[in-house]
Amino acid sequence: MLQMSDHKLKITEISGDLFAAPKEYSLGHCVSADLRMGKGIAVKFRDTFGQIQTLRNQNAKAGGMAVLKDGERYIYYMVTKTAVYDKPTYQNMFSSLTTMRDHMKLNNVSKLAIPKIGCGLDGLNWSKVMDQLHECIRGVKVGYPLKLNIVHKETVTAEFNPDFITRIIPRLDWPTVCAGAEKVGCTADIPATLSENYASDNEFLQKLHHVLMEIEVIEGNLECPETGRVFPITEGIPNMLLNEDEV
């Protein structure tokens, strides 16, 4: 299991039924890009969660990931090989893990249960996969999002660069973005959770660009709800993305 503790992600190995994990845990496993899921634990995922066509419509390739929403949690399908008869590579495994990690960060997922991925029928070495897991989450922290208090703000004009906005999205703390958007009066423009197709949604990218790049807080402060520390805004900041560790 992977979960947030002391604002850091950590890995804990336990023995048990993966599908008996508490509902606050998202689940994940490995599949091929053809989504055959005819053997091993993949059969249980297929029979339990279905929606195969929804997964196929995401057109995930080897090294990528498909995902389903199950209530308040996510079900991750890490694509580590192209066809069901192929064998996964460690390169594709790490790429899939990284993609899943980025989705978890964007959607505030702090608990995940997975089997010994890639190490059953696929034949990867668990110790090597564990090394990749640790490398993947190294340095990932769930910080306290700062509360933004605005005294005065202005709207400026900044050139819209959709490629730049798309590239920075995986690095954003999304709940903090949403809180900042609410403070500047743009709640309707920023969804609580990201669409899987955000990169092709030009209207969404333009709205996010406006919140991040065109609203300048001239006077106010950033307050950490947990520690009570306050950071004055004296010269203006271009966005609402700062976490306490970055101030």
Residues designated as active site: 81, 122
End-to-end CA distance of the chain: 31
Find how far residue 196's CA is from the centre of its chain: 10
Q: Both tokens of residue 235?
A: 């010269």
DSSP 8-state secondary structure symbol assigned to residue 192: S
Q: Both tokens of residue 239?
A: 């966005």
Alpha-carbon distance of 160 to 198, in angstroms, equals 16
Report residue 41: phi and psi, to 5°: -65, -20
**Positive or negative, the Cα torsion across 28, 33, 36, 39?**
negative
**Positive or negative, the Cα torsion across 195, 207, 163, 98?**
negative
Q: Which of 130, 115, 128, 123 is nearest to 77 (CA)?
A: 115
Give the DSSP letter string of 139-172. T-B--PBPEEEEEEEEE------HHHHHHHGGGS
Q: How far apart, in Å, are the Cα atoms of 242 and each of 105, 142, 195, 212, 219? A: 15, 12, 23, 11, 16
